[in-house]
Amino acid sequence: MSRRVKVKFNGGNGQDGRGNCRHPIDFSKGIIHSRRVKGEAYAAVVLLVLTMMPLPGSDNDFFPSAVQGWILTEAGEDYTPESLYRYIDGASELYISYGFTRLISRRYEKPGHGEIVVDFFDMKSPANAFGIFSHSQERPLKEIGQDSEYLDGLLRFWKDRFYVSLWCSPETAESRTAVMELGHRLAALIQSQGSRPDILGLLPAPGLLPSTIRFFHHHAWQNAYTFISAENLLDIGPDRQAVLAKYVLGEDRLIMLLILYPDANAAEQAFANLTHRFNLPVERGAAVRLADGKHFAARLQGEMLAAVWNSRSAEGALELLSALQAETLPFEK
């Protein structure tokens, strides 16, 4: 049986990230055997499973058995990085680039009311879970989990190292209420909270548009707001932290990129590659005007590389760089 799920992801090369793409899902005939556990014993078992994911087997189902008349079906699937393409064909690389390790997918059905699809991703770390959520955030709230967003029948949230999406089809007032209740119940079962990536605390606060923050550690996403390179010019990888963000300062609409490297030598090499790519003078405090008439500036600060694009003036780009935090500060949107 083939079904379709809404997958929301952000394109590169300056795309606006509002694409809501649908990809086929192939459900096998695997059977999930439910076990009813009541009261505190149920909560304890759920917490144990969530903290020990990926699951050692598929003979237990720890999702709520029903929500507002939608019943959990017996059919379900588990996916790994090697098999995820069968479920999200064309977008599996996005999740894999954020360290995805296991997906548990379940469906709820209510006669005459369509279905609710729940995808429960183990992203290995809170930073990865935040990253995959941030990749397409538009108007995030804190209603469910640590950040959440509901748009066009799709509820997404992250908490600790887990990223969860719930999609109802068709979307009605009744199905939306059921999705939100189910989201609250699933988030409550994850009793721990994760830390946001350290690098977020280095972002200057004035002018920052929090919903534009994109955290990543794969070079495929470096071009989300402006084209940098088709290659891994900045040596972005799993042991690096990278973040893009947009700023509004006066009439300026700027783009900032920060990357934290494991050592100063790696940062210096990446900085050399960047300055060569954009013909930036090596002198401290220099900026360069690009072909589009906007200004670009970059700075190396120990193990951190910082760059600013799209400024109307050299002074504007350099001013934002000068506002960088000297040390990591707690970040809370």
Neighbours of 37 (CB within 10 A): 14
The two tokens of residue 85 are 């393409």
**pLDDT of amino acid 165:** 96
The pTM (predicted TM-score) of the whole model is 0.78
Cα–Cα–Cα angle for 238, 214, 248, nearest 5°? 145
Sign of the CA dihedral running 217, 261, 326, 251: negative
> What is the CA 99 to chain-centroid distance, rounded?
11
**pLDDT of amino acid 141:** 85
Omega prior to 140 cis, within 30 of 0: no
Rounded CA-CA distance 204/306 in Å is 11
Going along the chain from its start, the domains and CATH numbers come out as: 2-189 (no CATH), 198-322 (3.40.1000)
**pLDDT of amino acid 127:** 96
Rounded CA-CA distance 179/185 in Å is 10
Beta carbons within 8 Å of 175's beta carbon, 6+ residues apart:
70, 113, 114, 116, 153, 168
| Ordered per-residue pLDDT tens for the chain, 333 residues | 333 333 343 434 333 333 333 222 222 222 222 232 333 333 333 333 443 343 333 434 579 999 999 999 987 889 999 999 999 877 888 899 999 999 999 999 999 998 999 999 999 999 999 999 999 898 888 889 999 999 989 999 999 999 999 999 889 999 999 999 999 999 999 989 999 999 999 999 999 999 999 999 999 999 999 999 999 999 999 999 999 999 999 999 999 999 999 999 999 999 999 999 999 987 666 899 999 999 999 999 999 999 999 999 999 999 999 998 655 444 444
Cα–Cα–Cα angle for 308, 310, 314, nearest 5°? 70
Number of H helices and E strands in the chain, helices first, is 6, 15
